[in-house]
């Protein structure tokens, strides 16, 4: 073992139990980690990156087992170590930061109590000492009010703060290694920056080595010294960050790098441009007190893609609910092709409902797990057009072909037998079955892997060119917006702050908030984060949450 | 072939359970064929010990216990099954309705159920049966109505989690009616907990009928039923005669059998395993 390697894993094989047999999920990957080094593990879901990351502390999730390999940490072999021996290492010398802080904190205890749990139970320090250390670490993590924040409950701090509080927990025992498992994936771009900056700060300050697991190459480029690209449990490519970004060797890596390419403006001459949907002066609220939407004015023209952008809580999904009639507004009106729509879903007629369809963020919950593809797509055909028997069957096959899934293979499957991308395609087919004019897409790609999302976006565009459908595309991801939209509407705190053609919104001069959003999208440039932080500091705009 | 293969996968406990249930069903169905005497015939002396003529002995009136056990299976299981089914039908329809419609419908249904549940079930049943008489249809309806409050609670809770799912919202946006939502979107997704509960409830109802019969308000003599048989023969215990233990054992036996199968079903549906 080379002296400055704090961790050295050789030929790791990990299996997962599925369909009554053990299937390899990590196939003989080796990795090493130097003291103070940050290693990025990147890959799509199912690549085995989390499983490999967790195996660094000789831990396998339930349903998985580490079959063979060698895990040498600080000169000690961990493979086959007893639970007692591992207890001394896990959380103390190798710590773990999970993806969803909101789900990982116990809502019944204050942050500080959860922070202190590991060091106190391991007998490393007294509670009062841990309390004092916590303030130091909270401060290094740039949390607001470091003296007081520990005494709050998890629901009293924001998502980005909670994620940083979890990083602080991992730091409590000053571990040699921290395993970060997608710590920013669930966060907005502006919040993500806070967490990335904090992670960068502590890894520098405490010289902690880290394994950073993510599916986002641009994110890992900001933090990692070295990157390993994984796919289907195999190592695709390993290189130093700058070299990999400058000169990717494998086709797969290049594909990951190319995803964020900007699409040219579409030529829309000759396409009809009558207004399909008009939102006039709409205000809405859930409780009757607080207005979630304030004076929204919006026009959507036919065969265009209007992207509705904003962070979580900006009211963009609420606007979709108002348009669909799930949440009647208390002020203002919605016009569909010049005709005023009834505010409540119940009072709209079937023909109206048919013309406006919706596609959801999570294809897993948007499809009834007990229905087969045939009835999922067939129901709108029957419901809206009264199609039966062979006529209906024929149309289902057509729709499946349209979404590029082989009808013979998929028509009799349950939605649980499909992958995430396939499910989303079925959702698209269900919407298309109604022959709608307007499809509202609510974050349709954010739950999908990069390459799968790319395929879905392409499909949506092709369908638009072919069928002249109109999209209202709700998203928080500016990269997606750049790819798909013709017009952009930016929302903040329930108001529209900017709207216009894509070019106008995305080119300078920017609206202040649009600029903040745009500059927060991670770029492939490894110096991006540092430069951005310097620039914002110089301008006196903090990124404190 | 595949059926036999899938049978082989069933764990031992569930196989025992299935065997017990099948045995009981066969006994119930074939009672008139295989029983040596009539249901209410007095054939011998009182409280005889088991012998070649009377395999399980005779009861307090000299009727053959084995015969009455077979007929008892018929009455008890049939009544319990009908009662449980009726209870599930009403309970789950109203539960789904409450969860799907919400608002004042849900409030009204839930408060009615709260009031019914606030009164101890056995006492309430005793009161109603004392007023309305103790015919079998009345017993079935009364127990089903009292029992459906529990089913209502479960069905509503399960449906509450399902109605907020996006596929239900998608169906609402499509313009589907309540009945479709309940039948096609909610019911198929709540089958697992409901069937498991069905097994449990069946046992409870079964025991409850036995309780009522034991107290003299359930199935009326001379109709044979297991709970009633325990009561009628309870006195024999003081003489060291085993007679009341036979029907008691049958009750315990069937309860255990049903629960074994329910456990297996729960195990099957709780995991990610494919059972469709």
Q: In the predicted model, is pLDDT for residue A5 greater than 90?
A: no
Contact B174 A353 (CB under 8 A): yes
Question: What's the token pair of residue A103?
Answer: 């789900």
Q: In the predicted model, is pLDDT for residue A344 greater than 60?
A: yes
Q: In the predicted model, is pLDDT for residue A1 greater than 60?
A: no
Contact B188 A430 (CB under 8 A): no
Q: Is residue A263 part of a domain?
A: no
Question: What's the token pair of residue A265?
Answer: 């403006």
Q: Which residue of B has its CA nearest to A433?
A: B174
- In a shared domain, residues A42 and A68: yes
Q: Is residue A399 part of a domain?
A: no
- The reported pLDDT for the residue numbered A259 is 57
Q: Number of residue pairs across A and B with CB atoms under 8 Å?
A: 48
- The reported pLDDT for the residue numbered B4 is 64
Q: Say which range, A424-433, A535-544, B49-58, has the weakest mean pLDDT.
A: A535-544
Query: How many residues does the structure list for chain A?
Result: 545
Tell which wins on pLDDT, A108 or B38.
Answer: A108
Q: Residue written as tokens 């806070």?
A: A194
ipTM of the complex: 0.76
Q: How far apart are CA A26 and CA A230, in angstroms?
A: 9
Ordered strands of the A5-18 beta sheet: A21-34, A5-18, A64-73, A76-77
Q: How far apart are CA A320 and CA A444, in angstroms?
A: 13
Q: In the predicted model, is pLDDT for residue A347 greater than 70?
A: yes
pLDDT, one tens digit per residue, over B63-106 is 888 888 888 888 888 888 899 999 999 999 999 999 999 889 99
- In a shared domain, residues A249 and A288: no
Report the gap between the CA of A368 and the closest CA in chain B (Å). 6
Q: Which residue of A has its CA nearest to B167?
A: A366
Confidence category of residue A415, pLDDT binned at 50, 70, 90:
confident
Q: In the predicted model, is pLDDT for residue B16 greater than 60?
A: yes
Chain B partners within 8 Å of A369 (Cβ): 189
Q: Is residue A287 part of a domain?
A: yes
Longest alpha-carbon distance in chain B: 73
Contact B184 A371 (CB under 8 A): yes
State the DSSP string of B104-136: HHHHHHHHHHHHHHHS-HHHHHHHHHHHH---H
The per-residue b/e assignment along A16-55, b for 16 or more CB within 10 angstroms, e otherwise, is: beeeeeeeebbbbbebbbbebbbbbbbbbeebbbbbbbbb
Confidence category of residue A266, pLDDT binned at 50, 70, 90:
low
Residues of chain A in Cβ contact (below 8 Å) with chain B: 19, 324-326, 345, 348, 350, 353-354, 357-358, 360, 362, 365-371, 379-380, 383, 414, 416, 430, 434
Domains along the sequence of chain B with CATH: 74-270 (1.10.3720.10)
- In a shared domain, residues A47 and A194: yes
Q: Which residue of A has its CA nearest to B178?
A: A346
- The reported pLDDT for the residue numbered B273 is 41
Chain B partners within 8 Å of A381 (Cβ): none
Whether omega before A509 lies within 30 degrees of 0, making that bond cis, reads: yes
Of B173, B176, B189, the CB nearest to A324: B173
- In a shared domain, residues A251 and A301: no
Q: In the predicted model, is pLDDT for residue B44 greater than 90?
A: no
Q: How far apart are CA B264 and CA A348, in angstroms?
A: 46
**Mean of the per-residue pLDDT values of chain B:** 85
**Pairing of the two strands A64-73 and A76-77:** antiparallel
Picking from A258, A293, A309, the residue at the C-terminal end of a domain is A258
- In a shared domain, residues A101 and A206: yes
Q: Is residue A393 part of a domain?
A: no
Q: Which residue of A has its CA nearest to B176?
A: A383
Q: Is residue A294 part of a domain?
A: yes
Q: What percent of chain B has pLDDT over 90?
A: 29
Picking from A216, A233, A258, the residue at the C-terminal end of a domain is A258
Chain B partners within 8 Å of A365 (Cβ): 165-167
Q: pTM here? A: 0.80
Confidence category of residue A311, pLDDT binned at 50, 70, 90:
confident
- In a shared domain, residues A243 and A357: no
Q: Read off the pLDDT of each residue in A229-257 and give the average, rounded to a whole number.
A: 88
Optimal mutation site among B102, B161, B175, interface A, most CBs of chain A within 10 A: B175
Q: In the predicted model, is pLDDT for residue A229 greater than 80?
A: yes
Q: How far apart are CA A350 and CA A354, in angstroms?
A: 6
Confidence category of residue A62, pLDDT binned at 50, 70, 90:
confident
- In a shared domain, residues A164 and A241: yes
Chain B partners within 8 Å of A348 (Cβ): 175
Are B152 and B88 a contacting pair, CB within 8 Å?
no
- In a shared domain, residues A283 and A254: no
Chain A partners within 8 Å of B167 (Cβ): 365-368
Q: Read off the pLDDT of each residue in A384-405 and give the average, rounded to a whole number.
A: 91
How many other CB atoms are there within 10 angstroms of residue B210's CB atom? Answer: 27
Chain A partners within 8 Å of B188 (Cβ): 368, 370-371
Contact A370 B167 (CB under 8 A): no
- In a shared domain, residues A252 and A280: no
Q: In the predicted model, is pLDDT for residue A190 greater than 70?
A: yes
Q: How far apart are CA A223 and CA A216, in angstroms?
A: 12
Q: In the predicted model, is pLDDT for residue A544 greater than 60?
A: no
Q: Is residue A379 part of a domain?
A: no
E strands, A154-206, in order: 177-181
Residue A112 belongs to domain spanning: 5-258
Report the gap between the CA of B193 and the closest CA in chain A (Å). 15
- The reported pLDDT for the residue numbered A183 is 86
Q: Is residue A316 part of a domain?
A: yes
Q: In the predicted model, is pLDDT for residue B36 greater than 70?
A: yes
Q: How far apart are CA A113 and CA A153, in angstroms?
A: 10
Q: What are phi and psi of A94, to 5 degrees?
A: -125, 120
Contact B172 A371 (CB under 8 A): no
- The reported pLDDT for the residue numbered B6 is 67
| Dihedral (CA of A405, A406, A408, A413) sign | negative
Contact B172 A326 (CB under 8 A): yes
pLDDT, one tens digit per residue, over A328-339 is 898 888 999 888
- The reported pLDDT for the residue numbered A540 is 67
Q: Read off the pLDDT of each residue in A359-369 and give the average, rounded to a whole number.
A: 89
pLDDT, one tens digit per residue, over A442-500 is 888 877 877 888 888 888 888 888 888 999 999 888 878 888 888 899 998 889 988 88
Optimal mutation site among A356, A360, A370, interface B, most CBs of chain B within 10 A: A370
pLDDT, one tens digit per residue, over B210-240 is 888 878 887 877 888 888 888 888 888 888 7
Q: What percent of chain A has pLDDT over 70?
A: 96
CATH number at residue A284: 3.40.50.300
Among A344, A230, A341, which Cα is nearest to A277's?
A: A341
- The reported pLDDT for the residue numbered B89 is 94
Count structural domains, chain A.
Answer: 2
Picking from A258, A289, A323, the residue at the C-terminal end of a domain is A258
- In a shared domain, residues A283 and A142: no
Contact A368 B276 (CB under 8 A): no
Q: Is residue A12 part of a domain?
A: yes
- The reported pLDDT for the residue numbered B255 is 87
Of A358, A370, A371, the CB nearest to B173: A358
Q: How far apart are CA B199 and CA B134, in angstroms?
A: 26
- In a shared domain, residues A199 and A292: no
- In a shared domain, residues A11 and A125: yes
Contact A367 B185 (CB under 8 A): no
Of the CA atoms within 13 Å of residue A192, those in its CB half-sphere come to 29
Report the gap between the CA of B126 and the closest CA in chain A (Å). 42
Of B166, B184, B274, the CB nearest to A362: B166
- The reported pLDDT for the residue numbered A392 is 93
Cβ burial, residue A77 (10 Å; 0-12/13-18/19+): exposed
């Amino acid at each position: 073992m080379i002296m400055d390697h704090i961790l050295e894993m050789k030929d790791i094989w990990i299996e997962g139990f599925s369909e009554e047999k053990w299937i390899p999920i990590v196939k003989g990957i080796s990795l090493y980690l130097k003291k103070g080094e940050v290693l990025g593990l990147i890959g799509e879901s199912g690549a085995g990156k989390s499983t490999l990351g967790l195996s660094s502390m000789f831990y396998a999730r339930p349903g998985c087992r580490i079959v063979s390999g060698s895990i040498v940490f600080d000169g000690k072999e961990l493979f086959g170590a007893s639970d007692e021996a591992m207890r001394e290492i896990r959380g103390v010398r190798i710590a773990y930061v999970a993806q969803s802080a909101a789900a990982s904190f116990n809502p019944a205890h204050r942050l500080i109590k959860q922070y202190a749990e590991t060091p106190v139970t391991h007998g490393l320090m007294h509670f009062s000492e841990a309390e004092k250390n916590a303030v130091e670490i909270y401060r290094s993590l740039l949390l607001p009010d470091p003296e007081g924040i520990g005494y709050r409950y998890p629901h009293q701090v924001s998502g980005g703060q909670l994620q940083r509080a979890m990083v602080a927990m991992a730091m409590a025992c000053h571990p040699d290694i921290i395993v970060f498992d997608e710590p920013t994936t669930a966060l907005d771009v502006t919040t993500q920056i806070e967490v990335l900056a904090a992670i960068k700060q502590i890894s520098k300050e405490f010289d902690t080595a880290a394994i950073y697991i993510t599916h986002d190459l641009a994110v890992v480029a900001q933090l990692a010294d070295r990157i390993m690209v994984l796919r289907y449990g195999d190592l695709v490519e390993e290189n130093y960050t700058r070299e990999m970004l400058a000169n990717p060797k494998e086709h797969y890596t290049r594909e990951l790098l190319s995803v964020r390419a900007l699409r040219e403006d579409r030529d829309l001459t000759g396409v009809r441009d009558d207004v399909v949907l008009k939102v006039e002066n709409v205000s809405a609220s859930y409780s009757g007190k607080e207005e979630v939407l304030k004076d929204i004015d919006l026009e959507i023209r036919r065969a265009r893609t209007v992207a509705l952008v904003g962070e979580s809580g900006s009211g963009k999904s609420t606007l979709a609910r108002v348009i669909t009639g799930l949440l009647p507004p208390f002020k203002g009106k919605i016009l569909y092709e010049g005709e005023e729509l009834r505010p409540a879903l119940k009072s709209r007629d079937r023909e109206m409902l048919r013309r406006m369809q919706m596609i959801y963020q999570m294809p897993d919950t948007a499809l009834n797990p007990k229905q087969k593809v045939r009835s999922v797509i067939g129901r709108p055909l029957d419901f809206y057009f009264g199609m039966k028997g062979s006529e209906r069957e024929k149309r289902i096959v057509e729709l499946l072909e349209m979404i590029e899934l082989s009808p013979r293979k998929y028509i009799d499957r349950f939605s649980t037998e499909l992958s995430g991308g396939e499910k989303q395609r079925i959702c698209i087919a269900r919407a298309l079955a109604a022959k709608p004019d307007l499809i509202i897409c609510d974050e349709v790609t954010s739950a999908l892997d990069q390459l799968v999302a790319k395929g879905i976006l392409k499909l949506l565009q092709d369908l638009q060119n072919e069928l002249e459908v109109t999209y209202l595309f709700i998203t928080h991801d500016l990269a997606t917006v750049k790819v798909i939209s013709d017009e952009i509407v930016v929302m903040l705190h329930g108001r529209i702050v900017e709207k216009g053609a894509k070019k106008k919104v995305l080119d300078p001069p920017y609206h202040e908030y649009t600029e903040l959003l745009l500059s927060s999208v991670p770029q492939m440039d490894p110096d991006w984060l540092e430069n951005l932080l310097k620039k914002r500091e110089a301008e006196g705009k903090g990124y404190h949450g | 072939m595949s059926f036999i293969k899938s049978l082989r996968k069933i764990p031992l406990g569930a196989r025992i359970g299935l065997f017990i249930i099948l045995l009981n069903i066969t006994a119930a169905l074939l009672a008139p064929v295989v029983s040596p005497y009539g249901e209410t015939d007095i054939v011998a002396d009182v409280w005889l010990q088991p012998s070649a003529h009377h395999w399980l002995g005779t009861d307090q009136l000299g009727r053959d216990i084995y015969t009455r056990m077979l007929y008892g299976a018929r009455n008890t299981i049939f009544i319990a099954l009908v009662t449980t089914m009726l209870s599930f039908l009403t309970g789950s329809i109203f539960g789904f309705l409450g969860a799907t419609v919400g608002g004042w419908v849900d409030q009204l249904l839930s408060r009615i159920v709260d009031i019914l549940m606030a009164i101890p079930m056995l006492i309430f049943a005793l009161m109603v049966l004392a007023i309305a008489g103790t015919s079998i249809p009345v017993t079935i309806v009364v127990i089903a109505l009292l029992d459906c409050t529990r089913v209502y609670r479960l069905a509503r809770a399960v449906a509450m989690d399902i109605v907020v799912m996006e596929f239900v919202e998608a169906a609402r946006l499509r313009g589907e009616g309540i009945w479709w939502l309940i039948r096609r979107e909610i019911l198929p997704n709540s089958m697992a907990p409901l069937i498991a509960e069905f097994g449990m409830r069946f046992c409870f109802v079964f025991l409850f009928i036995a309780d009522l019969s034991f107290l003299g308000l359930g199935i009326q003599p001379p109709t044979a039923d297991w709970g009633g048989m325990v009561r009628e023969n309870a006195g024999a215990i003081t003489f060291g005669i085993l007679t009341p233990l036979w029907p008691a054992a049958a009750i315990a036996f069937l309860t255990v059998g049903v629960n074994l199968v329910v456990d297996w079903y729960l195990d099957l549906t709780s995991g990610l395993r494919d059972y469709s």
